[in-house]
Amino acid sequence: MSRRAAWALALSTGACAGLLTPARAADPAAPAYPQGAAPFQANCAVCHGPAGAGVPSLAPPLISYPAHYAASPEGRRQLAMTVLYGLFGDIVVDNKHYDFRMPDFARLDDATLAATLNFIVFDLGHAPASVKPVEPGEIAAERAHVVDGAAVREHRRSVVP
Ligand code: HEC
């Protein structure tokens, strides 16, 4: 094959993808909260899956309920409480039962937890723009009210869709 033909082949097969990198900045698939994507993949994906689709009878999906929670003050408290204190006991998500223990993540700082929740709410859950992003201060406020995973489940009753 001539050098010219090889070059044309490389272009047509996308072997020169590096040349296309600048166009990626406008990629609609790029996360709106990349600072939450990394902690999500590091801490949450092992149970909830890399796209938050959940694992049957182990961990629930995060692609619909969290976006609903984020639209109300008590729902936002619920999200903060869940990551700070975990969640324990039988719950129902999309008509399916989950009865296991979500560990607590109080060791992560407020900004990291807020960004992780925003990744779930906006990137995985596609909450509308009318929903305000979770602020680190909302996480800090819940640190002041220590509860356990059973109490987080009890509070959840008032916010489920
Ligand atoms: C060891 C597995 C595990 C890991 C790791 C984990 N979760 Fe969970 N998560 C669960 C389980 C199990 C539940 C449901 C608990 C129950 O059955 O009461 C849950 C529930 C939730 C809920 C509540 C969903 C609802 O509808 O109320 C949210 C939100 C959530 N997890 C977010 C996260 C985030 C964010 C992380 C990472 C920081 C994370 N989880 C890490 C297992 C896990």
- Count Cα atoms within 13 angstroms, Cβ side, for 101: 7
CA–CA distance, 13 with 10 (Å, rounded to integer): 5
- Long-range pairs, 105-113, Cβ under 8 A, ≥24: 105/43, 106/143, 108/39, 108/43, 108/83, 109/136, 110/136, 110/137, 110/139, 110/140, 110/143, 111/35, 111/136, 112/35, 112/36, 112/39, 113/80, 113/83, 113/84, 113/139
Determine whether the shortest distance from the Cβ of 150 to ligand 1 is under 6 A.
no
**pLDDT reading at 44 higher than 70:** yes
Nearest atom in ligand 1 to the alpha carbon of residue 113 is: 38
Q: Output the domain CATH number for residue 44.
A: 1.10.760.10
Q: Does 23 fall in a domain?
A: no
Report pTM: 0.86
CA of 28 relative to ligand 1 center, distance in Å? 27
Q: Does 18 fall in a domain?
A: no
Q: Does 79 fall in a domain?
A: yes
Determine whether the shortest distance from the Cβ of 82 to ligand 1 is under 6 A.
yes
Q: What is the pLDDT of residues 15-36, one digit of tens each?
A: 434 444 444 445 667 899 999 9
Determine whether the shortest distance from the Cβ of 89 to ligand 1 is under 6 A.
yes
Determine whether the shortest distance from the Cβ of 66 to ligand 1 is under 6 A.
yes
CA of 102 relative to ligand 1 center, distance in Å? 5
Angle at 143 between CA 62 and CA 67, to 5 degrees: 20
Which structural domain, as residue segments, surrounds residue 89? Answer: 33-156
Q: Which of 8-17, 19-28, 60-69, 73-82 is least confident?
A: 8-17
* Arithmetic mean of pLDDT, 90-97: 96
Determine whether the shortest distance from the Cβ of 159 to ligand 1 is under 6 A.
no
Q: Does 45 fall in a domain?
A: yes
Q: Does 7 fall in a domain?
A: no
Q: Does 104 fall in a domain?
A: yes
Question: How many domains does the structure of the chain reveal?
Answer: 1
Q: Does 132 fall in a domain?
A: yes
Q: What is the pLDDT of residues 112-154, one digit of tens each?
A: 999 999 999 999 999 999 999 999 999 999 999 999 999 999 9
